[in-house]
Structure 1
Amino acid sequence: MTNIKVIIPAYNEADSIASVIKDIPKMVSEVVVVNNNSTDHTARNARGAGATVLTESRMGYGYACLKGINYISQQSKLPDIIVFMDGDYSDYPEELSKVVRPIIENNVDLVIGARTKDLREEGSMTPQQVFGNKLATTLMKWFLGASFTDLGPFRAIKYDKLLALDMEDKTYGWTVEMQLKVLRKGFVYAEVPVRYKKRIGVSKVSGTLKGTIFAGVKILSWIFKYSLK
């Protein structure tokens, strides 16, 4: 049986985190919520829903993901697949089985849950998110021959391939770094269309001008860094 673990970085997601955890399919052996310096009851609610809760006081999406990976690496029984998803309930956690299927059945290394337009709830992605995704994936196509259409955070990757990527970004560049390194190493990747809805609460990235600008700069920096290698 395939051993699947989920890592959910979470910052002030008290209103949504329990719903996310409860909708994750039973095929998952452990849900790890990394409480990224929340000031609300994110940790308490996640623990109450059955998740393992870690604390990462250094603010940043990448910091939280790395904390989760480090925790899993210490376990005696290592997973086959790691799934990343957000804690804001914008994804449909029950679609995890669809996201991991290409890995289990077709030996794909990385699968991105692509938030295609026809499956997105109206207003679930801000105009700057849509533009940023389009720009980033277009640049990766031009410079690196990639066929990605999204930088979606709902994604699955083989555990051994994840370790081989030697991930390092601590903040907003995490998702694009993973995709760029997969391209550079020649790993097999695929996308599957997933539904997407308006998140619970306010986005900490696209919901602020500072977050939007910082995320955009980090994403473009990673793309140009790898394009010039």
Structure 2
Amino acid sequence: MPEFSVDVVFPCLNEAGALPWVLGRLPEGYRGIVVDNGSTDGSADVARAHGATVVSEARRGFGAAANAGLVAATADIVAFCDADASMDPAELPRLVDALLSNTADLVLGRRRPTGRGSWPLHARLANRALSTLIRWRAGIDLKDLGPMRAGHRERLLALGIEDRRSGYPLEMVLRASTRGWRIREIDTSYAPRVGRSKVTGTLRGTIVAINDMSRLLAEVKHS
């Protein structure tokens, strides 16, 4: 077994079809924490059957689920990953290695599409615009606000992230930056997801995410 362990938080809403592959890709020494955010397709039972710890979060929202998983985690290092099979958990050690080598405090997976349909055009354009705004407003040079990421549990909890919807990933980055954290991006593969997305796969979901993140950026003070 590795000398360290990592808890991987998977916010989950009706991902029964993807969970077997996702949890089967976890590296040795990595524990899956599936946060069931109100699934009606038996996702929680599937997750348990494949060895994951299941946490229930009644409050709907990506941030609510992600935060519940962070609170439930016990490992020193916590990673976050989508549960829809668009991202490969087997790539997480490359992010974790940057933490263990002390070359970064927060590591983000920069999504690299692996095929057609991986990243809808409207979502890709929205991400590009958001990255530009993050550079202008907060002075953080990011190419992608990817949901796959890793950091040290106690330090992540100390950030005091308040958003419980789509702004959670951005607020994590903004709060980390204000504390002087070294934020690093590492390329990771991005494949077509299993099933339909609740955010980037729909125009409405993308608009909600943009509104949540725009609100956070509007609160950033110019340096």
Identical counterparts, % of pairs: 36
Deviation for aligned residue 1:106 = 2.8
Distance in 2 of aligned mates of 1:208 and 1:2: 38
Distance in 2 of aligned mates of 1:138 and 1:212: 17
Match of 1:75 in 2: none
Answering whether residue 132 of structure 2 is matched by residue 138 of structure 1, we say yes
User: Of 87, 98, 119, which residue of structure 2 is paired with 1:91?
Assistant: 87
Deviation for aligned residue 1:107 = 4.1
| Pairing of 1:102-141 with structure 2 (within 5 A) | 102-116=98-112, 119-141=113-135
Amino acid at match of 1:7: V
More helix by share: 1
Answering whether residue 72 of structure 2 is matched by residue 71 of structure 1, we say yes
Amino acid at match of 1:125: W
User: Of 24, 27, 30, which residue of structure 1 is paired with 2:26?
Assistant: 24
Amino acid at match of 2:48: R
Match of 1:42 in 2: 43
Distance in 2 of aligned mates of 1:150 and 1:63: 22
**What is the TM-score normalised by the length of structure 1?**
0.92
Distance in 1 of aligned mates of 2:24 and 2:221: 40
Distance in 2 of aligned mates of 1:165 and 1:129: 27
SS of the residue corresponding to residue 133 of structure 2 reads helix
| Pairing of 1:188-207 with structure 2 (within 5 A) | 188-207=182-201
Distance in 1 of aligned mates of 2:105 and 2:172: 12
Cα deviation digits, residues 87-134 of structure 1 (max 9, x gap)? 000001110111111101134110000013xx5322211112111111
Match of 1:8 in 2: 10
Runs of 5+ unmatched residues, structure 2: none
The number of residue pairs the alignment matches comes to 221
Q: Tell me the C-alpha RMSD between the 2 structures.
A: 1.4
Runs of 5+ unmatched residues, structure 1: 73-77
